[in-house]
Amino acid sequence: MAIIEIEKLAKSYQVYQKAEGLWASVAGLFRRKYRSVEAVRGIDLAVEQGEFVAFLGPNGAGKTTTLKLLSGVITPTSGTARVMGHVPWRRENAYRRRFALVMGQKNQLWWDLPAAESFRLHQQIYGIEPRRFDRTLAELTEMLDVHELLGQPVRELSLGERMKMELIAALLHSPDVLFLDEPTIGLDVIAQHTIQNFLRHYQQTRKVTILLTSHYMKDVVALCRRVVIIALGRIIYDGSLSGIIDRFGGEKIISVQLSDGCAQAELARYGELLTAEPPRAKIRVPRSVVSDVLSRILATHAVNDISVEDPPLEEAIAEMFVQADLQAEGKLGHVPELLNEE
């Protein structure tokens, strides 16, 4: 059963166009010019209960706007959405108690107070029964290993420690739906890995539905089986990670370790030479010729090791964005593959 249902959801803004120059600025005080910006353009989406979905797109694509619509922070220009049967922008208390929104660039904790004080405030806001609050807080702090930091002012915590506290605050009332907007932005590799492990374990044990936006593909690979990609306010892909590579990663990367390192430069005749660092080299070739290239390399060179892998996920997604831009500009016909995975 779909826990998130979106139909033709759209949001546009009127943005003031400030002209250059002193006199133009003065004139703008009396007659202002605006332009319409379509942040979200009639998207349709359904998310089943217990899914962990990546919601990806370039800056300005409409990701954060969509999350704000689903959390009731803003109202749409048109279209409908229901989350657990609730219309988000009605801001019903019954709905507020069942979801949480975490934004990596926004703080919900009091900056000068210990996190424990903010947690007590959340207890009162959500009306969490004391025993349940103590039990949930103890469980979350143990999972994230931050018990010794609860009495420390938030401003003295590292970025990774603050994000752990933000997650605890968001999960104290045990929401059924969790919206995560760039939760690992700016974090070091260790902090990212810790957050990923926590989210994976929490989602699997609680079966909470999570919609995640992130620019870190490692977050997506580690956590999500389903990927929804939005560009220019429209959903251009809805399917699996492997489907992205199959449809938009038209090339393969061949890594070769040659016995004769001097022969590495010769690999350029088989494809695009990416790196040549003796004794290893990498070349990029079209998928359709991989077998032929492998046969020719093995027949011609003394090879110690050879492997074939997909190009980085970022490259395949970037190719999707390029095609979406071309289609929007009318330079590319309608591309069915941009819509849904069969």
Contact, 183 vs 167, CB < 8 A? yes
- Cα gap 149→93, rounded to integer Å: 31
- Cα gap 135→130, rounded to integer Å: 9
Residues 210 and 282 grouped into a single domain? no
- Find the range with the poorest average confidence among 56-60, 175-179, 220-224: 56-60
Angle ∠(232,234,235) on CA atoms, nearest 5: 125
pLDDT band at 320 (very low <50, low <70, confident <90, very high): confident
CATH number for position 303: 3.30.70.1150
pLDDT of residue 262: 59
Residues 214 and 263 grouped into a single domain? no
How many CA within 13 A on the CB side of residue 16? 9
In-domain check, residue 153: yes
Ramachandran region, residue 21 (left: φ > 0; alpha: ψ -120 to 50; beta: rest): left
**pLDDT at residue 204 greater than cutoff 50:** yes
Residue after which a domain boundary falls, among 176, 207, 224: 224
Show Cβ contacts of residue 202 under 8 Å, excluding neighbours closer than 6 positions: 143, 171, 208
| Helix axes of 115-126 and 130-144: crossing angle, nearest 10 degrees | 140
How close are the terminal C-alpha atoms of the chain, in Å? 20
pLDDT of residue 167: 96
pLDDT of residue 329: 59
Residues 145 and 209 grouped into a single domain? yes
In-domain check, residue 233: no
> What is the percent of the chain with per-residue pLDDT over 90, rounded to a whole number?
57
CA dihedral (278, 280, 284, 286) in degrees, to 10, reads: 130
Residues 207 and 269 grouped into a single domain? no
pLDDT of residue 328: 62
How many CA within 13 A on the CB side of residue 103? 12
pLDDT digits (tens, 9 = 90+) for 70-129: 999 999 999 999 999 999 999 999 999 999 999 887 788 999 999 999 999 999 999 999
How many domains does the chain fold into?
2
In-domain check, residue 45: yes
Using CA atoms, how far residue 151 sits from 112, 120, 146, 160, 198, in Å, is: 11, 12, 10, 16, 22
Show Cβ contacts of residue 17 under 8 Å, excluding neighbours closer than 6 positions: 32, 33, 34, 35
Residues 264 and 172 grouped into a single domain? no
Residues 219 and 301 grouped into a single domain? no
Could you tell me which residues are beta bridge partners of residue 239?
Answer: 227
Structural domain of residue 136, as residue ranges?
2-224
H/E element, 190: helix 189-206
Instruction: From 253, 252, 256, 251, select the one nearest 297 (Cα to Cα).
Output: 256
Residue after which a domain boundary falls, among 224, 258, 275: 224
Residues 164 and 271 grouped into a single domain? no
Residues 113 and 162 grouped into a single domain? yes
- Cα gap 294→311, rounded to integer Å: 17
- Find the range with the poorest average confidence among 62-71, 119-128, 240-249, 265-274: 240-249
- Cα gap 86→205, rounded to integer Å: 25
Pairing of strands 209-213, 177-181: parallel
pLDDT of residue 261: 61
What mean pLDDT do residues 318-339 have?
62
- Cα gap 197→186, rounded to integer Å: 17
Residues 186 and 271 grouped into a single domain? no
Per-residue DSSP letter, 176: S
In-domain check, residue 19: yes
Tokens of 15: 């943005």
What mean pLDDT do residues 299-326 have?
82
pLDDT of residue 269: 87
What mean pLDDT do residues 171-188 have?
93
Tokens of 181: 């907007």
In-domain check, residue 332: no
**pLDDT at residue 331 greater than cutoff 60:** no
Residues 172 and 212 grouped into a single domain? yes
In-domain check, residue 327: no
- Cα gap 181→56, rounded to integer Å: 10
Residues 89 and 195 grouped into a single domain? yes
Tokens of 163: 């994000």
**pLDDT at residue 62 greater than cutoff 70:** yes
Number of residues in the chain = 342
pLDDT of residue 337: 45
Tokens of 162: 């603050």
Residues 83 and 33 grouped into a single domain? yes
In-domain check, residue 237: no
Selected residue with higher pLDDT from 336 and 324: 324
Average pLDDT over the chain, rounded to an integer = 87
CATH number for position 219: 3.40.50.300
In-domain check, residue 196: yes
